[in-house]
Chain A
Amino acid sequence: MEFGGINPVILIASLMVAAVPIMLAALGELVVEKSGVLNLGVEGMMIVGAICGFITAVQTGSPVMGFLGGAVGGAALSLVFAFLTQVLLANQVATGLALTLFGLGFASLMGQGYNGIKPPPTLSVPMGPLADIPALGPILFDHDWMVYMSIALVAVVWWVLKATRLGLIIRAVGESHEAAHALGYKVNRIRLGCIAFGGAMAGLGGAYVSLVRVPQWVDGITAGAGWIALAIVVFASWRPWRVLIGAYLFGGITVLQLNLQAAGSAIPVEYLSMSPYLITILVLVIMSSGRGRAALNAPASLGQNFHAAR
């Protein structure tokens, strides 16, 4: 069963893989933004996570350690952002952009000597006969564990934000830091924790790119995935399950354009490869026009620094 040289089962199976990095990074950024911080350094944290994860995996020979290393690397870089914006009260937009530029260069430096090496493989979770079910098997039961973990993390973040006291406090801090402070919550400390979580998630996403998606190290390996993750947070209007939908949508477009190229589509390659970014812009324009529900759901203190005056 094929349409224009594209097998839909393989397409869906591979879009689930393609969506993992942006889903993880977007989920982390969602928590950061829910706490009222705008960290535009997702791309930088992702690529540092990618190289840290790659180095750890190559050195230890364990992909699990690699993902852990990626998360630690992303979180470490995010703490630079946290220090600058939460302690020194630097402008969040400028600091975030600087973090991306710094991360890209720093990852390139760290990656010297790691070009052309194969990382230890991350294998599919053995599901036994389930993987042999026609169509459903390859789509649902033939993936590596990070694919399942990313979906589980969406559920966890959704549940924590919705139903736990921690989630309530995070949302409160992002909604009105003045009021949260008046009630005795440590605004900057809570935000710091959220930023570190966001960094770890971006690093995890980056490590998935260099360990599974590609899998090898090349400069600029994340190729704008961090920016797409930022766009998905807005697209999802700060709701975790919509992040999942958004990530599959954008993952699907990425995979589709690759498949179309391979199938020898009549559309020039350049248009196909720019399509995920064009659609990102389009979605952002549609979402922000008309001041609809999307605008109202944004955390009210987003991007504002907090300083306890008295």
Chain B
Amino acid sequence: MTRPELLKIEGISKSYPGVRANDDVSFAVGEGEVHALLGENGAGKSTLVKMIYGLVRPDEGKMTFRGAPYTPGKPGEARASGVAMVFQHFSLFEALNVAENVALGMENPPPMRELAARIRAVSEEYGLPLDPARMVGDLSAGERQRVEIIRCLLQDPKLLIMDEPTSVLTPQEVEILFRTLRQLSAEGTAILYISHKLEEIRSLCDEATILRRGKVVATCTPREKTARELAEMMVGATLSPPERHPGEKGEVVLGVTDLSANSPIPFGTSLKGVSFTVARGEVLGIAGVAGNGQDELLLALSGELRTGADKVRIGGHAAGDLGPADRRKAGLVAAPEDRYGHAAAPDMSLIENAFLTGALRRGLTRNGFIDWAATRTFAEEVIASYDVRTPGSHVAARALSGGNLQKFLIGRELDQSPEVIVINQPTWGVDAAAAAAIRQAILNRAAEGAGVVVISQDLDELLEIADQFAVLNEGRLTKPRPVQGLTIDEIGLMMGGAHGMEVAHHV
């Protein structure tokens, strides 16, 4: 099947200080084609689409769109030519309503009342129900994405760019999204689809371009390849899943009973009667779409959010009213999701960051003063054993890439011989090889007798490392179930299906 060519990219290069983000990239997208851009984090996918969307200018190379030279200077020009983009981290404004958010992404929006009517019309046509008057801060992740998609569709795009659209969706919501995308493709809209979820790409995309370190390393038809082949093209090496040494389950080290807490975060979700236990050597995986109480659960477990003393027990002792330092003393270490600002102090060096949580359990103080020699040794030990790529332990945390900083922060917690480990999003934004290393390290600690709670939105990750599986949905935790024997459909239902949004797709 040959399609008329829509977008052609020839020899595009883009450099940032110290990095060559794109190097001589060429590919073409036909009309109505669903084209995948595949690659690890840092492979240059995001930079490439930002150039197509006019946010970044290429250093070299040329683009042709519908037969004419295409050099968008700003997103407005790209939108005017018929290119629309749905962002990976939503470009939405929580305190504004749906219609206002849509209007901000349009060049010449109609008056609000007319716009609201058009939003209703388009959302019904594509089976994406949405109320234009609702505040975006109150919407679920799936609904927020609809706002972005509808914002794009209202401009009748010829090319729709989607940057990792499914990372925040439940399996059922992914199905709805794919139906919409297939409908668009059938109507002649081309879709440039960025993801590293290989099964999705195999089921959705017609063609794929694979990027590694800024270069095109392969093009293929994803349906004709296995997920493993695609992954190996992407990584450029053979991959092996983490090894598990299922040890004996020991006594319960972390018990949470009927934990309820109001969220300290604006637009946050309160925890409602959360209960679970974790035994030594056990990994409890907690799934759920972002914004369903994950951050709050981490705060309540780490001690930043205090509750009744008997709601949280560490090693059998009541700890619900203890602060973070006392919980560390009791053996619980925690690694929050936000690396720049919550897990690490971004402008402080790695040594200082190592001290911040390691001081207590690693004995890095002497008579109330910081033992800098011991702290440096600790930081360098983490750097060496977790393969953190950095010029040295003296550099600021901010200077490290997301994946490298994450390896350092996870290593910092795991090397404190903890009894209980709580981690939110251990491998978010981390490349495949580093993610595998982090998962292996977590499993190793569990094998040594620690109880582990992993909160993650990556279902594959949880299925890979967890023994027990539970879902946070609107602040409530489902009853943990053994991972073995769980199907994806069951998990989707535990996640609340499509959040009450089973949709009448027009047939």
**Residues on A facing B (Cβ under 8 Å):** 165, 168-169, 171-172, 175-176, 178-180, 182-185, 295-297, 299-300, 310
Check B87 against A182 for contact (C-beta < 8 Å).
yes
In the complex, what distance in Å separates the CA atom of A182 from the CA atom of B47? Answer: 13
Query: A-B pairs with the 8 shortest C-beta distances?
Result: A184-B75, A179-B91, A182-B91, A175-B93, A184-B74, A175-B95, A184-B76, A172-B104
Check A176 against B94 for contact (C-beta < 8 Å).
yes
> Which parts of B69-109 form the interface with A (CB within 8 Å)?
74-76, 87, 89-96, 100, 103-105, 109
**A291 CB to nearest B CB, Å:** 8
Say yes or no: is B54 at the interface (Cβ < 8 Å to chain A): yes
In the complex, what distance in Å separates the CA atom of A176 from the CA atom of B54? Answer: 20
Check A169 against B104 for contact (C-beta < 8 Å).
yes
Say yes or no: is B55 at the interface (Cβ < 8 Å to chain A): yes
**B111-134 vs A, Cβ < 8 Å mask (1 yes, 0 no):** 000000000000000000000000
Choose from A165, A175, A178, A180 the contact partner of B94 (Cβ within 8 Å). A175
Chain B residues within an 8 Å CB radius of A179: 90-93
Knowing that A183-B105, A184-B55 touch, tell me 10 more A-B residue pairs with CB under 8 angstroms: A168-B96, A172-B100, A175-B94, A178-B89, A178-B91, A182-B75, A184-B54, A296-B266, A310-B16, A310-B56
* Chain B residue at smallest Cβ distance from A308: B55
Given the contacts A165-B103, A184-B76, A296-B266, A175 and B50 also touching, CB distance less than 8 Å: no
Chain A residues within an 8 Å CB radius of B16: 310
**Residues on B facing A (Cβ under 8 Å):** 16, 47, 50, 54-56, 74-76, 87, 89-96, 100, 103-105, 109, 266
Chain B residues within an 8 Å CB radius of A169: 104
Check A295 against B266 for contact (C-beta < 8 Å).
yes
Query: Would you list 20 pairs from A and B whose C-beta atoms are within 8 A, ordered by A residue?
Result: A168-B103, A168-B104, A171-B93, A172-B93, A172-B100, A172-B104, A175-B96, A179-B93, A180-B93, A182-B55, A183-B105, A184-B54, A184-B74, A184-B76, A295-B266, A296-B266, A297-B95, A310-B50, A310-B55, A310-B56
Check A165 against B56 for contact (C-beta < 8 Å).
no
**A239 CB to nearest B CB, Å:** 13
* Chain A residue at smallest Cβ distance from B109: A165
Chain A residues within an 8 Å CB radius of B103: 165, 168
In the complex, what distance in Å separates the CA atom of A307 from the CA atom of B54? Answer: 18
* Chain A residue at smallest Cβ distance from B85: A182
Chain B residues within an 8 Å CB radius of A185: 104
In the complex, what distance in Å separates the CA atom of A171 from the CA atom of B93? Answer: 9
**B487 CB to nearest A CB, Å:** 37
Chain A residues within an 8 Å CB radius of B74: 184
Given the contacts A168-B103, A172-B104, A183 and B75 also touching, CB distance less than 8 Å: yes
Chain A residues within an 8 Å CB radius of B55: 182, 184, 310
**A303 CB to nearest B CB, Å:** 15
